[in-house]
Chains A and B, each alone.
Chain A
Amino acid sequence: GDSVTQMEGPVTLSEEAFLTINCTYTATGYPSLFWYVQYPGEGLQLLLKATKADDKGSNKGFEATYRKETTSFHLEKGSVQVSDSAVYFCALSRQSGSRLTFGEGTQLTVNP
């Protein structure tokens, strides 16, 4: 079945540091890939997405590129801020409207 694997967390960085959170997936065909973010006490929010190979999703300084050859969708940001502290989830869906399959989440803490 489909699965998503995220790098083990938690991740602690200083403000303005470079961020990478690794995500790899297992799925047949060409799933859509997503990064969701969950701030404390809030629901999941879509951060970015990519729907086909080599697409790059970007939002709020975060980027991720859909790599079919390595089945990966790593999240990056060049300079993190304290306000980026949250839990980040990588996810996939087989087709529009179908279930999302999530990774286990990565807790990011950014210290001033």
Chain B
Amino acid sequence: EAGVVQSPRYKIIEKKQPVAFWCNPISGHNTLYWYLQNLGQGPELLIRYENEEAVDDSQLPKDRFSAERLKGVDSTLKIQPAELGDSAVYLCASSVAGATDTQYFGPGTRLTVL
């Protein structure tokens, strides 16, 4: 069974530029999460989807971050414009709602903003 797929794995951009990250969850997983992991710290939730609906986005900086999960499968996280402080690893995870607590993580996208 394929795991959570994320792309790109690495991204380097200039500040004020836009950037987008893509996530394909494990087949059949209806809950999808985006986490932010700063260097030397644990991940923190940005947004959680149940199917197409964002059910927990309280930690998403909505002035510059946006996310979508069309058709309840793939998801895209966007930053516009990027700031130096956005340099971090962006992790996507998925799980089967109601069946287990286990969240399965992708390899992440490492963003560097210059």
Task: Convert A4-46 into 0s and 1s, putting 1 for each residue whose CB lies closer than 8 angstroms to a CB of B.
Answer: 1000000000000000000000000000101010000111111
Q: How far is the CB of A44 from chain B (nearest CB, A)?
A: 4
Given the known A-B contacts A51-B101, A100-B103, are A44 and B40 also in contact in the complex, defined by CB atoms under 8 Å? no
Q: List residues of chain B with CB under 8 Å of any chain A CB.
A: 3-4, 31, 33, 35, 40-45, 48, 50, 56, 91, 93, 95, 97-108
Question: Which of B48, B98, B104 has a CB less than 8 Å from the CB of A96?
Answer: B98
B56 touches A96 (CB 8 A): no
Q: List 26 A-B contacts (CB under 8 A).
A: A4-B42, A34-B101, A36-B105, A43-B3, A43-B91, A43-B105, A43-B107, A46-B102, A46-B103, A51-B101, A91-B42, A93-B101, A96-B97, A96-B100, A97-B48, A97-B97, A97-B101, A99-B56, A100-B35, A100-B43, A102-B42, A102-B43, A103-B42, A104-B41, A105-B40, A105-B41
Q: List residues of chain A with CB under 8 Å of any chain B CB.
A: 4, 32, 34, 36, 41-46, 49, 51, 89, 91, 93, 96-100, 102-105
Measured between beta carbons, the chain A residues less than 8 angstroms from B43 are 44, 89, 100, 102
Q: How far is the CB of B29 from chain A (nearest CB, A)?
A: 10
Measured between beta carbons, the chain A residues less than 8 angstroms from B50 are 97
Measured between beta carbons, the chain B residues less than 8 angstroms from A32 are 101
Knowing that A97-B95, A104-B40, A105-B40 are A-B contacts, what are 15 other residue pairs whose CB atoms are under 8 Å apart, sorted by A's residue number?
A4-B42, A32-B101, A34-B101, A41-B107, A43-B91, A44-B105, A45-B105, A89-B42, A91-B42, A96-B97, A97-B48, A98-B48, A98-B56, A99-B45, A100-B43
